[in-house]
Amino acid sequence: MGGLPAGKVEFTEHDYVDWERRVDALRLLLSGIKGGRQLMTVDELRKNIETLPPDAYERMSYYERWVTSITQTMIQRGVITTEELGKKMAEIGKRDGSKV
């Protein structure tokens, strides 16, 4: 987006909330930077953010994009399957409540 027309810089400072911090930590752990097995590269994270449809990219918050991208990468790599994710989301929605 370098050089594209855009508005004034808005000086928002936001203290990251817990779920965002956990997404961040997941990314670090899955990258193998912390010593574990490397299950994703930063390039895959970026690729899967870049391939979001433009309107989704604009609507989503930063860590919403990240969690989507990390999850997508885990599916692409076969670490988890779409079926497992679908089941898990339904189960947790029922267990903890969801707006979805």
Partner 1 sequence: MKDQGSYQPYSYFQLMEVSLRELLVEKGIVTEAQLAATVEEVRNITPERGARVVAKAWVNTEFRKKLLQDGTRACEELGLEIPALKLVVVENTPTEHNLVVCTLCSCYPRMLLGMPPEWYKSRNYRSRAVREPRAVLSEFGLELAQEIKIRVHDSTADMRYLVLPMRPADTEDWSEERLAASVTRDCMIGVAVPRI
Partner 2 sequence: MEARFKPGDAVRVRNIYPLGHIRTPFYIRGHSGVIERFCGTFGNPEELAQQRSGEPKQPLYRVRFLQKKVWPDYQGNPDDVIEVEIFQHWLEGENG
Q: For binding to partner 2 (CB under 8 A), which residues are involved?
A: 2-3, 41-44, 46-47, 50, 76-77
The interface partner of residue 44, options being partner 2, partner 1, none and the CB cut-off 5 to 8 Å by kind, is partner 2
CB of 39 to partner 2, least distance (A): 10
Please state, in angstroms and rounded to a whole number, the distance separating the CA atoms of residues 54 and 12. Answer: 22
Residue 69 contacts residue 41 (beta carbons within 8 Å): no
Tokens encoding 19: 């779920």
The interface partner of residue 77, options being partner 2, partner 1, none and the CB cut-off 5 to 8 Å by kind, is partner 2
Q: Does residue 97 touch partner 1 according to CB under 8 A?
A: yes
Those residues with Cβ within 8 angstroms of residue 67's Cβ, 6 or more apart along the chain or in another chain = 23
